[in-house]
Structure 1
Amino acid sequence: MKHRTLSASVFATLLGATPVLAQDVVLALTNAVNTLDPHQSASVGLDLSVLSHVYPSLILRGPDMALHPSLATEWEAVDDTTWRFKLVEGAKFVNGEPIDAETVAWNIARVTNAEAPTRISSWFTPVTGVNVISPTEFEITTATPYPALPAQLSMFMLLPPKWAETHDPASETMSGGAYVVDNVSPGDSVTLSANPEYWGEAPPFEQVTFRTIPETASAIAALLAGEVDFINKIPPSELARINDSGAATGGSVSSTRSVFIKFNTEKAPLDNKLFRQALNYAVDKEAIAEVLFGGEAELSTCQVMTPAYFGYNPDLKPYAYDPEKAKELLAESGVDLTQTLEFEVPTATYLQGEEVAQAVAQMFDEVGVKTEFRMMEFGAYLEKYRKAHDLGQLSLLGQAWPTIDADGLLTMFKPGDQYSYWNDAAFDEQLVAGNATTDPEEREAAYAEAARIMCDEAPVVFMYAQPATYGVSKNISYTPRGDDWVRAFDMAPVN
């Protein structure tokens, strides 16, 4: 399978961009940027969205959900374990360093260095090396088939190697993308300006500002007052007010992000399968979708994948809301119901997340399971989740994977993965099988079986797909997308 470059004008049209520099644009984020190092974050809707304006990627996924050329003009699978790429000529970072095959090789080596793993190292576990053929051509080799590699590379950004030797990418930047960083106000904003030396098409705005506005009411007020041009994670009940304002428009599209109650099965009583199943029966997902999301949230069908994902199992059905069945399983589980379970909820992170958590806690209480909320800022939650590996017994979590492939999303539950908190050998066996072949039918069958096993073992309360809601000012046009990216080059000024 070979992918060739599109003309710049066609690519710009697909991304909703225009090569004409015009007005500035202000985009609101619900949380502050955690790091400026693109290899130390997997937060697509936050850190990586901002950094995608600054650092180049080989491939970009457009709002149409298709993969488009960026630095890479062509790519093809040479065999089951080799991918060959061709690059644009003459691309450079602002400091003059070339963006060539050697640059790609250095960046791949950085994230595959076992002695100094980065946050995204697990994305490239199958990669064995990079073979530089010429400044504009190289091959990535893998130990096993990796059919999702091009999709994975759409969220992989390149740092300048020489610069990185003497600077800290976590707090400094050296642009090779469409914008340069003008100012970072920690916890408040990041301001970018168009890179005059950018090797690609001129970006659509002269200046892009990302503002941190955690509170929904404040974000909506800022949009209607003309202080920001884009907001997301809006309660569906507020869309009509935005559309009636005359100052902005609001809407929603289907999302690839599933929201669920994650169980830390490494802590009792969540190591008890019957207890986990009971909690699934205890939650009225339909009521939550209807009351809190106006019917806009699509119920999860006993799996964390949405229908958009390769590997989705269409035969699975949601756990029914059955509190009596929940009580029966709780009694059968033998768990001491006098104990109180810790329920961690990251604030200002998921659409109406706090309200969802409260509703779930009430439903747990109705079947005799007591919980205690521990509200925390998203960065603190990530510290517990990833670095400390010490999640509470229950937590509200939403996850998506921009490859839109089971290979990415289900791996977050793979035994041994830092995000898993669940160890199931049969599930792992299916992931291994799906990752061992490039045959689409074999991969799909393996992932569908993995999803079935996960449904039965219930390492989460399967809830719903978060609707991708948004509001945009009348000054910009926007191509909505359901995969979390917030990027100015998906927008254009309205002339």
Structure 2
Amino acid sequence: MTITTGKITMTLSKLLTTTAAATMMALPAFAMDVTIAQTSAVNTLDPHGSASVGLDLSVLSHIYPTLILRAPDYSLQPSLATDWEAVDDNTWKFTLTEGATFANGEPLDAETVAWNIARVTDAENPKRISSWFSQIDGVNVISPTEFEITTSSPYPALPAQLSMFMLLPPEWASEHDPVTETMSGFKYQMTEYVPGDHITLSPNPDFWGEAAQFDSVTFRVIPETASRVAALMAGEVDLINKVPASEIARIEESPNATAGAVDSTRSVFIKFNTEKAPLDNKAFRQALNYAVDKELIADALFDGLATVSNCQVMTPDYFGYNPDLEAYPYDPERARELLEESGVDLSQTIEFELPAATYLQGEEVTQAVAQMFGDVGVKTEIQTMEFGAYLDKYRAAHDLGRLSLLGQAWATIDADGLLTLFKPGNQYSYWNDEAFDEQLVAGIATTDPEEREAAYKKATEIMCEEAPVVFLYAQPATFGASTRVTYEGRGDDWLRAFDMSPAD
């Protein structure tokens, strides 16, 4: 593949001077500096080396372009790609913005897209996000502004998946390390990086689209919840997320900030390892679903901000969501009946794993659920561990505890992503159901929306009946914002300055 590359046309000092001048001319008069607090430090600057939407990819989305953008209302909007269409079941055609470039002059054209796709589909050098594009067979470059992506099977969610796929400049990447360096092709460029502390961005004067609204954007690491809330109320930061529901009213009383919540695309549930007894027992799994008062958890712990899951892991925003399912009611008597029918020895203590400081009020939820299990005679032992250790057990060792608190979402907001995490053979599944698998296969075998919805309707019905989890609630996407900005919140984990605007 041949990549045509422009030359670097200015020195760093000239670039910075030009940046300042261009910013003064391009930005509106109300431009300002904003600071966004993050719960953890960025792990990598390579957008192909991370699948963490709320952390690494949120920062990098300011620097690197995508073909398509996911808007706060979850609609897919043109970005570098101005148009896309399905030519047939296995072919998608895209049209690009003409004349777009990276800050170093390299073209943002079809050859660049092809190079990036080749980079993440290279079987000999896989990237963290390579599995997203395992169905891609190749890229056919038609012209600098037109190309086609061919797939081995229908991939109806490809445009949504591409909204997370950021593009690197090929020539620059061959001479630099994208893990520790960046080259802008989008609204902002990185001006300062202090690992573990903060990243500061300034507008990219060579950006080919609508100018950035802020003079600078700083992503500041503040792990402690109380410290993030205090920094917001003191006017030190402009946006925080994962605000405890109990703190929202207090923030609202502050003259410097507002707070709120929106429904998120992330469901929280108790994951069962059905590969270990007694979680291989359907009656036992159903009993635990009847044992939990989900309405009480939503109301008491989240002040009514959490929405109880109606017997599925998808939320209403997902394609394939089944509106006809009903949640397991809180029925401790029915739980005890099923426990007796199951024949499980209730004298045993079952480990209940909790990844620390990971899910909003996860510690409180785990304690409440453990108490409810105990009320019907199921003994558990909460085992708290760092999230990294939990992931090692979950993914690498494939040795998850019999019970654990887990929250999952899929950025394409499509059933073929989220439900695949429960597909037999998937390393994340810990559940093997042939009938469920048959429906997933049917759902990805066509691009016809009605046929896909019918397959996922059956899949969710099977999952509800077989109960491989305790279905709990959709985690509320809570946030706090300074009164200097306007921000309405979004529920898909993206944390972006260009979703904010200066307050009037």
1:461 to 470, 474, 487: 470
Q: Quick check: 1:488 aligned with 2:479?
A: no
2:400 to 391, 399, 410: 391
Q: How many Å separate the matches in 1 of 2:30 and 2:395? A: 40
Deviation, structure 1 residue 298: 0.7
| Structure 2 partner of 1:235 | 244
Identity within the alignment, %: 75
Q: How many Å separate the matches in 1 of 2:27 and 2:204? A: 15
Which consecutive unaligned segments of at least 5 residues does structure 2 have? 1-25
Which deviates the most, 249-258 or 262-271? 262-271
| Structure 2 partner of 1:190 | 199
2:90 to 81, 85, 98: 81
| Deviation sequence 1:274-303 (CA, Å, 0-9, x none) | 222222112111110010011111110000
| Structure 1 partner of 2:215 | 206
Deviation, structure 1 residue 122: 2.4
Instruction: Find the residue that maps to 2:269 and give its secondary structure.
Output: strand
Deviation, structure 1 residue 236: 2.4
Instruction: Find the residue that maps to 1:326 and give its secondary structure.
Output: helix
- In terms of Rg, which structure is larger? 2
Q: How many Å separate the matches in 1 of 2:394 and 2:198? A: 25
Q: How many Å separate the matches in 2 of 1:264 and 1:163? A: 45
Deviation, structure 1 residue 414: 1.6
Once the two structures are superposed, the pairs formed by residues 341-352 of structure 1 within 5 Å of their partners are 341-352=350-361
Which deviates the most, 420-429 or 438-447? 420-429
| Structure 2 partner of 1:281 | 290
Report if the CA contact (8 A) 1:433-1:446 is conserved. yes
Q: How many Å separate the matches in 1 of 2:464 and 2:456? A: 12
| Structure 2 partner of 1:305 | 314
Once the two structures are superposed, the pairs formed by residues 5-84 of structure 1 within 5 Å of their partners are 22-84=31-93
Q: How many Å separate the matches in 2 of 1:372 and 1:152? A: 39
2:103 to 84, 94, 100: 94
| Structure 2 partner of 1:294 | 303
Report if the CA contact (8 A) 1:18-1:492 is conserved. no
Q: How many Å separate the matches in 2 of 1:93 and 1:111? A: 20
Once the two structures are superposed, the pairs formed by residues 327-338 of structure 1 within 5 Å of their partners are 327-338=336-347
Q: How many Å separate the matches in 2 of 1:343 and 1:190? A: 37
| Deviation sequence 1:186-214 (CA, Å, 0-9, x none) | 33322222222222222111211112223
| Structure 1 partner of 2:19 | none
| Deviation sequence 1:34-79 (CA, Å, 0-9, x none) | 3322223222122211111121100001112211111101111111
Instruction: Find the residue that maps to 1:39 and give its secondary structure.
Output: coil
Q: Which amino acid aligns with 1:133?
A: I
1:415 to 419, 424, 448: 424
Which deviates the most, 374-383 or 74-83? 374-383
Report if the CA contact (8 A) 1:31-1:348 is conserved. no
Instruction: Find the residue that maps to 2:41 and give its secondary structure.
Output: coil
Q: Quick check: 1:254 aligned with 2:263?
A: yes
| Structure 1 partner of 2:153 | 144
Q: 1:390 to 1:178 in 2, by over 3 A?
A: farther
Instruction: Find the residue that maps to 2:232 and give its secondary structure.
Output: helix
Q: 1:370 to 1:118 in 2, by over 3 A?
A: farther
Report if the CA contact (8 A) 1:76-1:84 is conserved. yes
| Structure 2 partner of 1:474 | 483
Deviation, structure 1 residue 112: 2.2
| Structure 2 partner of 1:11 | none
Q: How many Å separate the matches in 2 of 1:449 and 1:264? A: 23
| Structure 2 partner of 1:444 | 453
Deviation, structure 1 residue 417: 2.3
The alignment covers a number of residue pairs equal to: 479
| Deviation sequence 1:317-343 (CA, Å, 0-9, x none) | 111112222233233333333333332
Q: Which amino acid aligns with 1:397?
A: L
| Deviation sequence 1:81-104 (CA, Å, 0-9, x none) | 111001112222333332221221
Instruction: Find the residue that maps to 2:48 and give its secondary structure.
Output: helix
Q: How many Å separate the matches in 2 of 1:46 and 1:54? A: 14
| Deviation sequence 1:84-140 (CA, Å, 0-9, x none) | 001112222333332221221122222223333333222223221111111211001
Q: How many Å separate the matches in 1 of 2:399 and 2:417? A: 22
Which consecutive unaligned segments of at least 5 residues does structure 1 have? 1-16
Q: Which amino acid aligns with 1:198?
A: F
Deviation, structure 1 residue 19: 5.9
Instruction: Find the residue that maps to 2:441 and give its secondary structure.
Output: helix
2:254 to 245, 250, 255: 245
Q: 1:342 to 1:38 in 2, by over 3 A?
A: farther
Q: How many Å separate the matches in 2 of 1:179 and 1:407? A: 33
Q: Which amino acid aligns with 1:288?
A: I
Which deviates the most, 232-241 or 440-449? 232-241
Which deviates the most, 47-56 or 326-335? 326-335
Instruction: Find the residue that maps to 1:417 and give its secondary structure.
Output: coil
Q: How many Å separate the matches in 2 of 1:72 and 1:373? A: 48
Q: Quick check: 1:114 aligned with 2:129?
A: no
Q: 1:193 to 1:267 in 2, by over 3 A?
A: farther
TM-score scaled by structure 1? 0.91
Q: Which amino acid aligns with 1:119?
A: R
Which deviates the most, 223-232 or 370-379? 370-379
Q: How many Å separate the matches in 2 of 1:19 and 1:149? A: 35
Q: 1:340 to 1:113 in 2, by over 3 A?
A: farther
Q: How many Å separate the matches in 2 of 1:337 and 1:67? A: 50
| Deviation sequence 1:10-41 (CA, Å, 0-9, x none) | xxxxxxx9766721111112233233222232
Q: 1:434 to 1:18 in 2, by over 3 A?
A: farther
Q: Quick check: 1:315 aligned with 2:324?
A: yes
Q: How many Å separate the matches in 2 of 1:374 and 1:98? A: 52
Deviation, structure 1 residue 436: 0.9
| Structure 1 partner of 2:442 | 433
Instruction: Find the residue that maps to 1:467 and give its secondary structure.
Output: strand
Report if the CA contact (8 A) 1:239-1:250 is conserved. yes
Q: Which amino acid aligns with 1:354?
A: E
Q: 1:21 to 1:376 in 2, by over 3 A?
A: farther
Instruction: Find the residue that maps to 1:256 and give its secondary structure.
Output: strand
| Structure 1 partner of 2:143 | 134
Q: 1:325 to 1:179 in 2, by over 3 A?
A: same
Instruction: Find the residue that maps to 1:76 and give its secondary structure.
Output: strand
Report if the CA contact (8 A) 1:283-1:363 is conserved. yes
Q: Which amino acid aligns with 2:483?
A: K
Q: How many Å separate the matches in 1 of 2:101 and 2:39? A: 32
Report if the CA contact (8 A) 1:148-1:405 is conserved. yes
| Structure 1 partner of 2:235 | 226
